[in-house]
């Protein structure tokens, strides 16, 4: 069986360092907002190219706290509209709803699966009451969204730009790295991510000092000092032990991303099957291939073929947010591009520990489908 993602093999590379970090944390007993969180925040900010990083409990909280932070600062108000991609993980939409804002769904570019300036401009122009105040651009599957086109619109219409960079740790363009190309960005360190913890975790990156100060309050019960609460806050703090593990894995992130790109290029160059639509990739560092996603017309038949040939797979994601029961208030929306993508996509094995032999086997088998 060729595994989709071998987390044991990925993390076993760091076992000795993890065990040493665990022992030190056990001795220090400073388990909440300890020195590992403080050091990781500095190191991850430096990695992304931002002034600030604030650790949170998970990626959803990171997005939600950005939005609530801007509400506290008066840059957003409850009821304002926030553009989100129609095809994204539901967390993007949930963050908007948790902040008591209104999500506005926009269809993606069908080739990149990401937002682009063309589709956004139409939506913004149709906003006759001028209540669209922000855009959340998702770097889906690890590929940066249309930064040039989106930035032009943001400047023209004076909108806040927020990155959902949960899948794009280390993606890079001339405008900067994921996390540093917007007003603020949210990351997830869910175990399967390119930079994954051994549990849950998240972070916010920004150059906005006031937002950083506000979010640090919000993540910790609205408090700077214990038992003195300034805001109605949350309990959303990156665990100190997870921060210790992330500090160790951060050192390997660039090499791991390079390996992912090499695997993606091998797939693209080696797969020669008209039944499979391969992902758009320009060969640059703007993609870190959190997932290698193909489209196929008869997905159920393809899944049966993969199972028969012992190739693990995953679907990111089978049901678009607007068709989820939890978001039934949006079920009336007609989003044909998004709906077709979610019916046809499937993710192939992709990880920095995938062997050359495994890669060649997958390519060879796919060419017989």
In a shared domain, residues 93 and 197: yes
The pLDDT value given to residue 47: 98
In a shared domain, residues 160 and 194: yes
For the cut 90, the answer to whether the pLDDT of residue 118 exceeds it is: no
Closest CA to 160 of 71, 243, 228: 71
Give yes or no for a cis peptide into 19 (omega within 30° of 0). Answer: no
User: What is the mean predicted confidence (pLDDT) over 116-126?
Assistant: 91
Phi, psi dihedrals of residue 48, rounded to the nearest 5°? -80, -25
Percent of the chain residues topping a pLDDT of 90 = 96
Q: From its phi and psi, is residue 203 left (phi > 0), alpha (psi between -120 and 50) or beta?
A: beta
Token duo for residue 114: 């990401």
The pLDDT value given to residue 129: 87
Token duo for residue 151: 């930035």
Taking only the tens place, the pLDDT of each residue in 135-172 is 999 999 999 999 999 999 999 999 999 999 999 999 99
Structural domain of 59 = 7-104+112-250
User: What is the mean predicted confidence (pLDDT) over 83-102?
Assistant: 98
The domain boundary residue, chosen from 250, 275, 300: 250
Taking only the tens place, the pLDDT of each residue in 239-294 is 999 999 999 999 999 999 999 999 999 999 999 999 999 999 999 999 999 999 99
Strands (DSSP E) contained in 181-320 are 184-188, 202-206, 223-225, 228-229, 276-277, 292-296
In a shared domain, residues 209 and 273: no
Domain count of the chain? 2
In a shared domain, residues 197 and 346: no
For the cut 90, the answer to whether the pLDDT of residue 127 exceeds it is: no
Token duo for residue 76: 């957003």
Q: Is residue 305 part of a domain?
A: yes
Percent of the chain residues topping a pLDDT of 70 = 100
* Residue matched to tokens 């409850």: 78
In a shared domain, residues 200 and 264: no
Q: Is residue 2 part of a domain?
A: no
User: What is the mean predicted confidence (pLDDT) over 67-77?
Assistant: 98
The pLDDT value given to residue 128: 79
DSSP reduced 3-state for 187? strand
The pLDDT value given to residue 37: 98
In a shared domain, residues 222 and 359: no
User: What is the mean predicted confidence (pLDDT) over 184-193?
Assistant: 98
Q: Is residue 1 part of a domain?
A: no
User: What is the mean predicted confidence (pLDDT) over 37-59?
Assistant: 98
pTM for the model stands at 0.97
Q: What is the CATH number of the domain that holds 38?
A: 3.40.640.10
In a shared domain, residues 316 and 360: yes
The pLDDT value given to residue 22: 96
Token duo for residue 319: 């049901």
Q: What does the radius of gyration of the chain's CA atoms come to, in whole angstroms?
A: 21
Strands (DSSP E) contained in the chain are 52-56, 81-85, 102-106, 132-138, 160-164, 172-173, 176-177, 184-188, 202-206, 223-225, 228-229, 276-277, 292-296, 345-348
Q: Is residue 49 part of a domain?
A: yes
In a shared domain, residues 210 and 274: no
User: What is the mean predicted confidence (pLDDT) over 212-233?
Assistant: 95
Q: Is residue 177 part of a domain?
A: yes
Instruction: List Cα–Cα distances, 10 to 24, 99, 194, 326, in angstroms.
Output: 22, 35, 10, 34
The pLDDT value given to residue 119: 84
The domain boundary residue, chosen from 250, 276, 292: 250
In a shared domain, residues 147 and 263: no
In a shared domain, residues 245 and 257: no
In a shared domain, residues 301 and 216: no
In a shared domain, residues 220 and 138: yes
Q: Is residue 201 part of a domain?
A: yes
**DSSP-assigned beta bridge partners for residue 223:** 229
């Amino acid at each position: 069986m060729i595994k989709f993602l071998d987390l044991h093999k990925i993390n076993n590379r760091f076992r000795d360092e993890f065990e040493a970090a665990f022992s030190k944390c056990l001795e220090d007993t400073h388990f909440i907002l300890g020195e590992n969180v403080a050091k990781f925040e500095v190191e991850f900010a430096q990695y992304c190219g931002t002034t600030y990083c604030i650790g949170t409990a998970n990626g959803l909280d990171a997005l939600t706290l950005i939005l609530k932070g801007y509400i506290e600062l008066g840059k957003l108000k409850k009821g304002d509209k926030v553009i989100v991609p129609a095809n994204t993980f539901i967390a993007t939409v949930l963050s908007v709803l948790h902040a008591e804002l209104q999500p506005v769904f926009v269809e993606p570019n069908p080739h990149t699966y990401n937002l682009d300036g063309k589709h956004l401009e139409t939506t913004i122009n149709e906003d006759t009451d001028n209540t669209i105040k922000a855009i959340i651009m998702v770097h889906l599957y690890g590929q940066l969204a249309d930064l040039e086109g989106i930035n032009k619109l943001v400047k023209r219409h004076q909108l806040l730009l927020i990155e959902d960079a949960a899948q794009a740790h280390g993606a890079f363009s001339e405008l900067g790295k994921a996390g540093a190309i917007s007003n603020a960005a949210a990351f997830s360190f869910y175990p399967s991510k390119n930079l994954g913890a051994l549990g849950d975790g998240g972070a916010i990156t920004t150059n906005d000092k006031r937002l950083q100060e506000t979010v640090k309050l919000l993540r910790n019960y609205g408090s700077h000092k214990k038992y003195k609460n300034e805001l109605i806050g949350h309990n959303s703090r990156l665990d100190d032990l997870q921060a210790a593990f992330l500090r160790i894995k951060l050192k390997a992130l660039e090499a791991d991303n390079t390996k992912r790109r090499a695997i993606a290029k091998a797939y693209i160059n080696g797969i020669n099957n008209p039944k499979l639509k391969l992902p758009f990739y320009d060969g640059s560092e703007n993609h870190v291939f959190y997932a290698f996603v193909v489209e196929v017309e008869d997905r159920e038949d393809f899944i049966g073929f993969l199972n028969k040939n012992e190739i693990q797979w995953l679907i990111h994601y089978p049901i678009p947010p607007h068709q989820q029961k939890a978001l039934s208030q949006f079920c009336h929306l007609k989003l044909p591009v998004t709906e077709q993508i979610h019916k046809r996509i499937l993710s192939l094995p992709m990880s920095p520990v995938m062997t050359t032999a495994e890669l060649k086997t997958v390519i060879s088998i796919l060419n017989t489908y």
